[in-house]
Structure 1
Amino acid sequence: MPASTLLYIMPFITLLPIITLVLQQKSLLMSLLSLEALILSLVMFLTFSFCMSSQKEPFLCLILLVFGACEASLGLALLVSVMRLYGNELPSTLMTAKC
């Protein structure tokens, strides 16, 4: 695939998880999955931009991957505790259970 094609595709790959996050607010699991897709698309974008530029510093990609892994583990732990406490992961049920 030519580099010019990737330059046009990368913003759409980054934009799709954001749109999914906005549209799928009914499920905590879908929100976490769209955040993971966003992190993955940002890592792909950074890797591609480092390959195209003269910089060979991959530390920013590594830091972003570390934050993505931490976000995934915290999100999964939060999802498991919410499922154990309330029985489901729908945010509408979580808000009504507080009242």
Structure 2
Amino acid sequence: MLNFSVSLILSLVMIFCGGWGFVSYHKHLLNSLLSLEFMMLGIFLLLGMNVSGVGSEIYICLFFLTLGVCEGALRLSLLVLIVRSHGNDYFKSFNMLEC
């Protein structure tokens, strides 16, 4: 198993890479959603590492993982809805004036 400092650096790198991907690759909606999910995995790793170091209280990690899964399902359903209504997931094709 990895020691604490390597896991901390790995989780922070995952969070920053996900944030960088979210900011820089915003041509497609799917790229943005995948980078947000990568950030969530980094935060989950960081949270799990901190909670396991404190004690045996791991229920907050399960709660966070459940919220992350629900959020991912909402993102996927939003992506499917947008692709069905607009035909693609380009941000340039979205117009706020359309109903």
CA distance, structure 2, for counterparts of residue 97 and residue 86 of structure 1: 13
Deviation at 1:26, TM superposition (A): 1.2
CA distance, structure 2, for counterparts of residue 6 and residue 72 of structure 1: 24
Aligned to 1:89: 89
* Paired residue total: 98
Aligned to 1:70: 70
What 5-or-longer segments of structure 2 have no aligned partner?
Answer: none
CA distance, structure 2, for counterparts of residue 52 and residue 46 of structure 1: 10
TM-score (norm. length: structure 1) = 0.85
Deviation at 1:38, TM superposition (A): 1.1
Matches within 5 A, 1:31-46: 31-46=32-47
What 5-or-longer segments of structure 1 have no aligned partner?
Answer: none
Aligned to 1:47: 48
CA distance, structure 2, for counterparts of residue 96 and residue 7 of structure 1: 41
RMSD: 2.0
Match of 2:8, SS state, is: helix
Q: Assess if the C-alpha contact under 8 Å between 1:24 and 1:31 holds in 2.
A: yes
Q: Assess if the C-alpha contact under 8 Å between 2:29 and 2:90 holds in 1.
A: yes
After superposing on structure 2, the runs of 4+ consecutive aligned residues of structure 1 that deviate more than 4 Å are none
